[in-house]
Amino acid sequence: MNSQFNLFTAKRRSIYALGNNLSQTPEEIFDLVKETIKNSPTAFNSQTVRAVVLFGQSSDKVWDIVEDTLHKIAKDPNAFAKTKEKIAAFRAGYGTILYFTDTAIVHQLENDYPSYADNFANWAEQGLGGAQQAVWTALAENGIGASLQHYNPLIDDAIHQTFNIPANWQLRAEMPFGSIEAAAGEKTHLNDEEMFKLIK
């Protein structure tokens, strides 16, 4: 079976060489992110995914926070130089999406459905992963490169303070995006036999 969807997902790659040469406006990208997340499924329709989309100097601040935080704990100057170079590539993009989980909803569901209480945090992560995949694919469909980064929880406090983020929004990932200045490397896969089973 052929699937247009699989063609789009194949375009979704980790792009590290980003630029700010996009034709889309911040408003258009913001609307794309909003609609994509709103149409992504969550357990119990809990809608626990939250996102903040930053452009310009606000996006730069995210990566300034990452760099400053990592610099304070760096033990190897040579290793940090490579990290700084990597962060600069993220800063060079057009914007950044910060992904959060609304823990207030998770805790409310834990209280409302005690039989399932141990699952709601995991289900929120599943919902977040689905939303991230969907947004990443939607960006790729529009010729926008991105990658998914995880500098949380090291940067959590600074992000919350700098951007006035609600306390119940837990930072889970950072997605720098922009124009694709260099293609992604070759992607390899495990053998199908290691990953899948067909049972009739």
* C-alpha closest to that of 21 among 138, 145, 141, 139: 145
Q: Look up the CATH superfamily of 4-195.
A: NADH Oxidase (3.40.109.10)
pLDDT for 91 equals 98
Name residue 52's amino acid: V
The whole-number pLDDT of residue 7 equals 86
DSSP string for 28-90: HHHHHHHHHHHTS--GGG---EEEEEEEHHHHHHHHHHHHHHHHHH---HHHHHHHHHHHHHH
pLDDT tens, 91-100?
999 999 999 9
**Residue 63: predicted pLDDT:** 98
- pLDDT per 10-residue tile (average), the chain, 200 residues: 84 95 98 98 98 98 98 89 95 98 98 97 98 98 98 98 98 98 91 96
Look-up of token digits 């375009």: 11
pLDDT of amino acid 2: 74
State the pTM of this model.
Answer: 0.95
pLDDT of residue 34: 98
pLDDT tens-digit map of 29-45: 999 999 999 999 999 99
